[in-house]
Amino acid sequence: MKILVAIKRVLDYSVKVRVKTDHSDVDLANAKMSMNPFCEIAVEEAVRLKEAGVASEIIVVSIGSKAVQETIRSAMAMGADRGIWIDSGEAALSPLTIAQLLAKVVQAEQPSVVLLGKQAIDSDDNQTGQMLAALCDYPQATFASKVTIADSKATVVREVDGGLQTLQLALPLVVTTDLRLNEPRYVKLPDIMKAKKKPLDTQTPESLGVSLNNSVKMIKVEPPSERKAGIMVPDVDALINSLKNQAKVL
Amino acid sequence: MEFGLSTEQQLIVDTVRSFVENEMYPHEAEIERTGQVPLELGLEIRDKCRDLGFYAANMPEAVGGGGLNHLDFTLLERELGRPSMALSVFFGRPSGILLACEGEQRERYLLPAVRGERFDALAMTEPDAGSDVRGMKCYAKQDGGDWIINGSKHFISHADIADFVIVFVATGEEQTAQGKKKLITCFLVDRDTAGFEIRKGYQSVSHRGYHNCILNFDNCRVPAAQILGEVHQGFDMANKWLYGTRLTVAAFCVGRARRVFELALPYAAERKQFGQAIGRFQGVSFKLADMITEIDAADYLTLAAAWKMDQGLDADREIASAKLYATEMLARVTDQALQIFGGMGLMSDLPLERFWRDARVERIWDGTSEIQRHIISRHLLRPLGC
């Protein structure tokens, strides 16, 4: 059984985000970039499924400039078998375009399970997995906190408002991962060394027959307004009074 | 010339960084308070490190190690300089000198050390023989097929957790141009050998929880089979194998200095006095400029020395320069960081005072700054007949 994992290279979670002075975008110059944490969880889940004997091959795919190769290699160090880099240059891509590119890879590879992070911590769209499932006409289970695959069926526990929902789905399917699905491993030193020898195939939007018609245009980026300093209150009565009359939350 | 890291190097750095942040940082405050690493915690770190294949990353693959070259290993050590030394010691890096093991010694000392089954400690220093190694008094006399060791060693780092020590003792004397000097032999001595005692050392201002010990040898009988290398060749062995520990000190200092800088920089940007961030005052901002410049300089010196070793070139001078500069840099950087934090920097609620204390030993151990300057200057002047 083949698993396809789509991963995204994003600004590292620990980096303090700066907005460019012209407000055109976030400033990525010299900033540390890493695999999106939810994508890392998706890779980890794929590796666990392989270790459990459920999956036989893990393919990782990522879209972007040459630098995403590094992210693909780190997924290989975690345990992915081979990689596909879709060279889209520096173009900004909307979730729909990304889903269209991934759908072509799904078509070519015919995986039984497609794993994606539920969202990327940079744009926070939370759309790609859902769009990909629709384009491939696959069932989807988003926000997964537990994935079990047996007898050509997937049982996925989803984190939904108010609790957990368990779905049973037929394969092939799309699963997007939530934070509590697993805790990604540290990579092993021998696996780091092996990663560079694993095959990495290059594709382009043209070779996949997808035109980068970006339907979304970013107009302006603003940093969140600065939080005002708090006030000290002498006692509980004053606190309740402030919450009622100043903050107006009671 | 390439100054960037390869994907593999970046992965090594990221993995070790994430390991020290998650597995070591959370225990630091408690170790500072108690001065002790619970053994089970140390062994847990060792086991995780073994599972990840990072244990003995400095040793060749042929003996079961990670097989990193000097440059990659130095990148790893730079990350290990960030956490408390009392913890990073369990991220095992057996002494390179064990590669001199031959025959049965390999099964008994080298391979178990690489597998993380036996810890080693290295013993050279004596109360009356610090930098003057060849003035040591601890001696061994041959008795049939055995050697009998008498004397004591002190400042022996992490001997408290060692299963065996690699100890240098005098086995004779020779006349040199600088007067009489001891001939030295290196022995492998097991912890439980009769006549050998490992005692608690002194309370040190630096590196709480990373203990120095006193070793006492009282008619300690050791078979000749436990001599590492040849009789009387210990000093040359030390010079051949132990240069690497100086680069370790340099790499640790660079890593720790970066951690300190990462605390000082945002503090300067956020802390307000006189109605503005203190980083707006040139008195503070110029400190930061000097700090990062010096950290980078030490970093490049250290990596360049490691690279030179990988090329099979003599790097003694470069290693000495890296050790000298990185340790003195760390002293200045920790001091300036503490100044930026003001009074709060002195309080043990923040780790600044710890970094400042820890920095002090770096200019002393593994060859004092003065010894490094001596090595550097001799390399410069000896070829000129001076």
CB A5 within 8 A of CB A75: yes
Q: Going by C-beta distance under 8 Å and a sequence separation of 6 or more, which residues neighbour residue A138?
A: A106, A114, A132, A172, A173, A174
Write out the DSSP string of A136-179.
Answer: HT--EEEEEEEEEEETTEEEEEEEETTEEEEEEEESSEEEEE-G
Torsions phi, psi for A33 (to 5 deg): -115, 145
Measured distance CA(A67)–CA(A35) in Å, rounded: 11
Instruction: Measure in Å the smallest separation between the Cα of A189 and chain B Cα atoms.
Output: 5
A186 closest CB neighbour out of B10, B15, B57: B15
Res A81 pLDDT > 80: yes
Domains and CATH numbers, chain B: 7-100 (1.10.540.10), 120-228 (2.40.110.10), 236-384 (1.20.140.10)
Inform me whether the C-beta atom of residue A229 falls under 8 Å from chain B C-beta atoms: no
Pairwise CB contact (< 8 Å): A74 & B11: yes
pLDDT along chain B (386 residues), means of 10: 91 96 96 95 96 95 96 97 97 94 97 96 92 90 96 95 96 92 96 96 95 97 96 90 89 98 97 97 98 98 96 95 98 98 95 97 95 96 96
Distance of CA A66 to the CA centre of its chain: 18
pLDDT value, residue A230: 84
CB contact under 8 A, A77 and B11: yes
CB contacts, 8 Å: B53 with chain A? 188-191
DSSP B183-208: EEEEEEEETT-TTEEEEE----SSST
From chain B residues 18-37, the ones with a CB under 8 A of any chain A CB are 18-19
Contact B15 A195 (CB under 8 A): no
A192 to chain B: closest CA residue: B8
Of chain A, the end-to-end C-alpha distance in Å amounts to: 55
Which residue in B329, B313, B348 sits closest to B252, CA to CA? B329
Task: Say yes or no for a CB contact (<8 Å) between B7 and A34.
Answer: no
Nearest to A192 among B8, B18, B48 (CB): B8
CB–CB contact A187 B57 (8 Å): no
- Inform me whether the pLDDT recorded for A29 exceeds 90: no
Euclidean distance between CA atoms A140 and B370, whole angstroms: 68
ipTM at complex level: 0.87
**CATH for the stretch A2-245:** 3.40.50.620
Q: Across the interface, do A189 and B8 touch by the CB < 8 Å criterion?
A: no
In this prediction, residue A201 carries a pLDDT of 97
Q: Are A52 and A73 in contact (CB under 8 A)?
A: no
Could you tell me if A190 lies within 8 Å of chain B, comparing CB atoms?
A: yes
Q: What is the dihedral of CA A164, A169, A173, A174, to 10 degrees?
A: -10
| Interface with chain A: mutation pick from B50, B52, B58, highest number of A CBs within 10 Å | B52
Q: What is the pTM of this model?
A: 0.91
Q: Rounded mean pLDDT of chain A? A: 94
Measure CB to CB from residue B53 to each of A69, A188, A195 and give the nearest one: A188
CB atoms within 10 A of CB B18: 14
Tens-digit pLDDT profile for residues A145-190: 999 999 889 999 999 999 999 999 999 999 999 999 999 999 999 9
Cβ of residue A189 closer than 8 Å to a chain B Cβ: yes
Q: What pLDDT does B233 receive? A: 94
Q: Which residues pair with A221 in a beta bridge?
A: none
Q: In chain B, how long is the greatest CA-to-CA distance?
A: 80
C-beta neighbour count of A205 within 10 angstroms: 20
Q: Answer whether residue A226 shows pLDDT above 90.
A: no
How do B227-228 and B179-190 pair as beta strands?
antiparallel
pLDDT at B54: 96
The number of C-beta contacts closer than 8 angstroms across A and B is 44
- Determine how many CB atoms are found less than 10 A away from the CB of residue B341: 20
Contact (CB, 8 A) for B42 and A230: no
Q: Beta strand pairing status for B276-277 and B272-273? A: antiparallel
What pLDDT sits at residue B116? Answer: 95
Chain B CB contacts of A192 below 8 Å: 8, 11-12, 15
Residue with tokens 């769209």: A125
- Gap between the terminal Cα atoms of chain B: 34
Residues of chain A neighbouring B54 (CB-CB closer than 8 A): 188-189
Contact state of A34 with B12 under an 8 Å Cβ cutoff: no
Residue A214 has pLDDT above 80, yes or no: no
Provide the shortest C-alpha distance from residue A69 to chain B (in Å): 9
Q: Is the pLDDT of residue A215 over 80?
A: no
On whether the CB atoms of residues B186 and B238 are closer than 8 A, the answer is: yes
At A239 the pLDDT is: 93
Looking at the predicted structure, is the pLDDT value of residue A249 above 90?
A: no
Q: What ranges make up the beta strands (E) of chain B? A: 120-123, 139-143, 146-157, 164-176, 179-190, 196-200, 212-223, 227-228, 272-273, 276-277
**DSSP 8-class letter at A197:** T
User: Does the beta-carbon distance from B12 to A192 stay under 8 Å?
Assistant: yes
Instruction: State the pLDDT at residue A246.
Output: 86
Q: Which residues of B touch A43 (CB under 8 A)?
A: none
Contact (Cβ atoms closer than 8 angstroms) between residue A218 and residue A92:
yes
Any B CB within 8 A of A188 CB: yes
